[in-house]
Structure 1
Amino acid sequence: MTNNKSLPQYLTLIPSSVMIGIFFMIPFALILAASVAVQTPEGDFNYGFDLAHFERFLTWFYIERALFSAGICALIAALSLLIAFPFTYMLTRFNERAKTLWLIYILAQLSLSEVLIAFSWQVLFSRTAGIGNILEFVGIVEKSFAMAPSAGAVIAALVYLAVPFAILLLYPALSRMDRSLIEAARTLGTSTIGTFFKIVIPVNRSALVSSSVTIFVLTLGAIIVPQVLGKPEHWTLSVLITDQAIFNFNLPFASALAVVLLILSGSVVAAVMKFGGEK
């Protein structure tokens, strides 16, 4: 009887499963096939089985780019949550009108494309119209200076891109948190800061883990921000994939790098969920 009642629930999964199969599994299968294709002298490729593109990845330059990509995305995830978690916690304590206005403002930020964010921050970090010019005007520095291209500019712009996502991911868990736990801790003499670290953070650990994974994957696929605000040594693996596919017309190698990027993100997600999830 239970199986008959649950059958309609399984049927509702069919449309989404078909969509995933069409828009993810089939393109991934084509990319996987292209990654082991045999490249011709004319620059084209024929489907076959050649691991030369993966062997090319196993050089220090591309390995270092992969490690750099993972490291900078992990740093951005940590910084984003460091900003978003206290802000979201305070946001849940506002009245309904204030919460609604803030959420509308955050959702409006999500409408900004990565291209617009990248070039806006490029202006902000420029020598003639950016922060350096303002610092010169108020007398903090003697001469204006450009802050981009640099790794700091890439990190700042990607954190700006990621924080609204982090807030919206954390908001449901923090808004549903049992406030009696906080009241009990305060009654027992725990300070406000102590309550935040001993109660609020541990209770919302799963939300923090899932949000960090989402931000990591989101920023790992960023292309425009590292390319516009960073030097070549600050380019992530996603930028190199675009460079190989569009500018060098080397689709097999770009596909191999894409497979490596997917394995990298999947490995990080699996590791975080295994060792950072609920005990």
Structure 2
Amino acid sequence: MSGRDAATPTWLGLIPGVVLAALFLVPFGIMLAVSVALRDPSGSGFYTWGFELQSYARVFTFFVGRILFVSMTIAAGAAVISVALALPFTVILAQMSRRAQTVILVILLSVLSLSEVIIGFSVSTLLSQTAGVGNLLALLRITEQPRAYTPSLFALMTGLCYLTFPYSVLVLYPPVARLDPELVEASRTMGASPLRTFFGVTVPLLRAPILGALILVFVFALGSYLLPQVLGRPEHWTLSVHITDQAVYQSNLPFAAAMAVVLLLAALALVGLALLVARERRAA
């Protein structure tokens, strides 16, 4: 019997399940147990093992609900803007020579090596009053005097899009590179403009990769911790910032764990809904 015809060992199929359990299910189980634990009022420890739903009662309040809504909105906005910028960029990139594609992809990979700390403070400096955009606009007489554009929602979205743009390009590049160029040429031959060809031919063919990039960027931006603090105002702070505040500074691990559980379940629910909608559209 040749190696190709040999049956795959049964134990080999257990490896993904073991990895999933070790990296997701076990930490999630611990976080779930902590979320229903009792907070230790004596200050000698963060919590004691027990079962109460007081932390979840605090989670489902208007204050936490507003923070969760802000987090979801910011993450969704960053995902839409990042993918909307990455898609035409990737289409143009795929039409370049192999040498140019390699250089640009290496540059994008080098951007991924930058930490969130470097990106956050670089964007903060660029949008500050004493350097960067403010002075440039004043020099061009667009504004009367230099002004700061951070902290603001604009600065936060700029930082998130800069952070997630390379991921969007790397997700979209393989399917875009595999597109049949004859389809685009046929559309142009029939008189369609480049813009109409892009939205009428290219985008429909890339629905699944676009959805995948949106989900990836959304989940990535949803867990952003540093950028909202450096570039945004307190009303723009995501739930991740408040989770850290409760766990580290307020010594309230059960409440922090409860917020983390709700954030994780909300993200999984939105991802599942997006996949369900994509499957129904594909079936139709």
Fold shared, TM-score > 0.5 on shorter chain: yes
CA contact (8 A) 2:120 2:231 kept: yes
Partner of 2:219: 217
Q: Does 1:21 align with 2:21?
A: yes
Seq. identity, % = 40
Counterparts of residues 119-130 of structure 1 (less than 5 Å): 119-130=121-132
1:50 alignment partner in structure 2? 52
Structure 2 equivalent of residue 63 of structure 1: 65
Give the 3 Å change call, closer, same or farther, for CA 141–9 of structure 1 in structure 2. farther
Output aligned runs, 1:1-279, within 5 Å. Answer: 7-8=7-8, 11-43=11-43, 44-277=46-279, 278-279=282-283
| C-alpha separation in 1, matches of 2:6 and 2:177 | 31
Partner secondary structure for residue 276 of structure 1: helix
Distance 2:251 2:233 in 1: 22
Provide, for residues 174-193 of structure 1, a one-character-per-residue CA deviation record: whole Å limited to 9, x for no partner.
Answer: 01112222222223332222
Q: Report the CA distance between 1:138 and its aligned residue.
A: 3.2
Tell me: CA distance 1:263–1:7, structure 2 relative to 1, closer, same or farther (3 Å). Answer: farther
1:187-210 residue CA offsets vs partner (Å, 9 max, x unmatched): 333222211111100011000001
How far off its partner does 1:118 sit? 0.5
Q: TM-score, normalised by structure 2?
A: 0.92
Seen in structure 2, the aligned counterparts of structure 1 residues 140 and 183 have a Cα distance that, compared at 3 Å, is closer
**CA RMSD of superposed structures (Å):** 1.8
Going from structure 1 to structure 2, the CA distance change for 1:222 and 1:132 (only over 3 Å counts) comes to: same
1:10 Cα deviation (Å)? 5.8
- Greater shift in the superposed pair: 13-22 or 147-156: 13-22
Inter-CA distance 81–243: structure 2 relative to 1 (3 Å threshold) = same
Q: Secondary structure at the match of 2:162?
A: helix
Gaps of 5+ in 1: none
Q: Is the partner of 2:8 in helix, strand or coil?
A: helix
TM-score computed with the length of structure 1 as normaliser: 0.94
